[in-house]
Amino acid sequence: MQLQGETLGPEVAFQSSAGAASLPHRPALTTPPPKRLGPIAVGAQILRSEGVPALFTGVSATMLRQSLYSTTRLGLYDVLKKNWSPAGDGASLPIHLKVTAGLLAGGVGAAVGNPADVAMVRMQADGRLPPAERRNYRSVLDAIRRMARQEGVGSLWRGSSLTVNRAMIVTASQLATYDQAKEAILRRRGAGADGLGTHVAASLVAGLVASAASNPVDVVKTRVMNMKVEPGTQPPYVGAVDCALKTVRAEGPMALFKGFVPTVSRQGPYTVVLFITLEQIRKLLEDF
């Protein structure tokens, strides 16, 4: 959905039983623009054209990215919180310091996980391309190896400034919001309420805030990472600002919120699972 309406490259329809239909690179004024699809329609087309496994395209890259990115940012956030709090336990840290800790932790985590992030974006977007132009990465390791060999090691950090910016926004909004929401609930209901219900409620709020804050950067990041740069040709985008300006000019400001419903649908459950797991691990480690 984040790539729908992009006018700098051939807009390719999903495969159908009749084959892939490629729309013109620059359609004539008399040609109506392609219909924009919502999350249910996009999911249905993926299922019809590529089958159920297509919904898990890039899962190896997603797992590697989360292993590197989430481990780094969550661990570093906790370390910064404890070091910056007066009692050294991370409790009652002011909101501005929580946000600062989130920004730093998210930036470092994103830099570590960027190669897997690029691989994930490309693997998930491959089905939009005509069969002859698909990259057909077999796994995240195959994707990283081929990118490094064919495009140079630097390609593994393509869009890294966007990844870092997005991760800083997500981590700061997600972790700081969770901590603030949890503290607010416990102040109202007492320390005895520190259980599953409180963790779910606080994480749902955190997921919604993180989705809204990060979606514009995520759209730009997806488009920059997915662009094809042919040798000797000008790249479609020369940077994040150029991509954002071209997107807004061609598709309007709300284009930066494309895919918001799937983002919330992903961030909500992901954030709930993330923080419930984190809280349970913390309780287990208290016994050691």
Residues 6+ apart with CB under 8 A from 251: 5, 7
> pLDDT grade, residue 288 (50/70/90)?
low
Distance CA 238, CA 242 (A): 6
pLDDT (0 to 100) of residue 23: 39
Instruction: Return the beta strands (E) in 33-178 as ranges.
Output: none
103 pLDDT above the threshold of 90: yes
Tens digits of residue pLDDT in 233-278: 788 888 888 888 988 988 888 888 888 888 888 888 889 999 999 8
Residues 6+ apart with CB under 8 A from 71: 109
pTM check: above 0.85:
no
**166-198 burial string, b = 16+ CB within 10 Å, else e?**
bbbbbbbbbbbbbbbbbeebeeeeeeeeeeeeb
First to last CA, the chain: 46
> pLDDT grade, residue 12 (50/70/90)?
very low
Tens digits of residue pLDDT in 110-120: 999 999 988 99
> pLDDT grade, residue 8 (50/70/90)?
low
Compute and round to an integer the Cα radius of gyration of the chain.
21
Hey, which residues does 22 pair with through a beta bridge?
A: 12
List the Cα angle 187/193/199 in 5-degree steps: 95
Higher pLDDT, 171 or 225: 171
pLDDT (0 to 100) of residue 218: 84
Tens digits of residue pLDDT in 162-215: 788 888 988 998 999 999 999 899 988 888 888 889 999 999 999 999 888 888
Distance CA 243, CA 120 (A): 20
Residues 6+ apart with CB under 8 A from 47: 54, 55
pLDDT (0 to 100) of residue 33: 56
> pLDDT grade, residue 34 (50/70/90)?
low
